[in-house]
Amino acid sequence: MSIGKTIVIVGHYGSGKTEFAANFTLFHRDAGHDTTLADLDIVNPYFRSRELQAQFEKRGIRVLSSNFETEHNLDTPALAAGLYACFQPGATVNIVDVGGDPVGARVLARYAHYLRNREYDMWMVINANRPQTAHPAETQRLLEQIEQISHLKINGLINNTHMLDETAPEDLLRGDALVRTLSASCGIPVKYTVCTRHLIPQAERLHVSGTLFPISLLLRPSWLS
């Protein structure tokens, strides 16, 4: 089964956008879709989507990043030629993980003209526990800067308010209040509220915005726990 779409994921450093992008990629692959995960984050050297290349390719997921497509440990500002396919019409679900701040979003500008004339999604992942996205006004300014620099429009919000292993239902509610306010101000719908799988039973009783999306921590090494 194949459906063609491009889903661009943006979010400030520490938002958890890369974990969301990786888990959302697995979600589509498990649903039977041909899926590609593209790592366009050339700003943050840590917690990169491309670190999952070997694991994902065993499951039939193509992972793209730098010009050195088979050397995912090399950190260069170059981008693989194959990335252009992620912004073209086709039958593949393309999940594009982009550097979270306005500087990181600049790389999107070179691909913007491929997307503007067709349907695409661009979602902003928000963690209300990060100082840069703790308040609606500051978060809206960041959203508008990303749109201005990338020449693309954000059309979905993701509440991913967390404190890693210490995340509690109160964190989800704090994030929910923020994304609800931002949604009302910008007219952008909340697509998902993200939490680790063990919190799902509690989260289901909170009536938060969007669809609950359970994730596993794929990128966090055990020694950081």
Radius of gyration, CA atoms only, the chain: 16
Q: Give the pLDDT band of residue 65 (cuts 50, 70, 90).
A: confident
The residues near 65 (Cβ < 8 Å, ≥ 6 apart) are 38, 39, 40, 48, 49, 50, 53, 72, 79, 80
Look at residue 14 in the predicted model and tell me its pLDDT.
84
Q: Give the pLDDT band of residue 166 (cuts 50, 70, 90).
A: confident
pTM of the model: 0.89
Q: Give the pLDDT band of residue 218 (cuts 50, 70, 90).
A: confident
Look at residue 75 in the predicted model and tell me its pLDDT.
47
- Give the max Cα distance, the chain: 46
Residue with tokens 């210490």: 166
Tokens of 55: 């694991």
Residue with tokens 């979600």: 27
202 has a pLDDT exceeding 80: yes
Q: What are phi and psi of 83, to 5 degrees?
A: -65, -25
Look at residue 66 in the predicted model and tell me its pLDDT.
60
Q: Calculate the average pLDDT of the chain.
A: 86
Partners of 156 in the beta sheet? 123
Q: Please name which of 125, 106, 122 lies closest in space to residue 8, comparing C-alpha atoms.
A: 122
Distance (Å) of CA 109 to CA 36, 148, 171: 20, 9, 33
Residue with tokens 């589509």: 28
Sign of the torsion angle spanned by Cα atoms 61, 22, 215, 121: negative
Q: Within 13 Å, how many C-alpha atoms sit on residue 127's CB side?
A: 21
Residue with tokens 């994030």: 175
Q: Give the pLDDT band of residue 78 (cuts 50, 70, 90).
A: low
Q: Exposed, middle or buried, 67 (CB in 10 Å: 0-12/13-18/19+)?
A: middle
Tokens of 100: 């979270």
Q: Within 13 Å, how many C-alpha atoms sit on residue 107's CB side?
A: 25
Count of other CB atoms within 10 angstroms of residue 76: 11
Superfamily of domain 5-224: P-loop containing nucleotide triphosphate hydrolases (3.40.50.300)
Look at residue 222 in the predicted model and tell me its pLDDT.
45
Domain definitions of the chain by residue range: 5-224
The residues near 48 (Cβ < 8 Å, ≥ 6 apart) are 18, 39, 41, 65, 72, 219
Q: Which residue has the higher pLDDT, 65 or 121?
A: 121
pLDDT tens digit string along 174-195?
999 999 999 999 999 999 999 9
Q: Alpha-carbon distance 173 to 190, whole Å? A: 14
Q: What are phi and psi of 163, to 5 degrees?
A: -130, 45
Q: Which residue has the higher pLDDT, 186 or 118?
A: 186
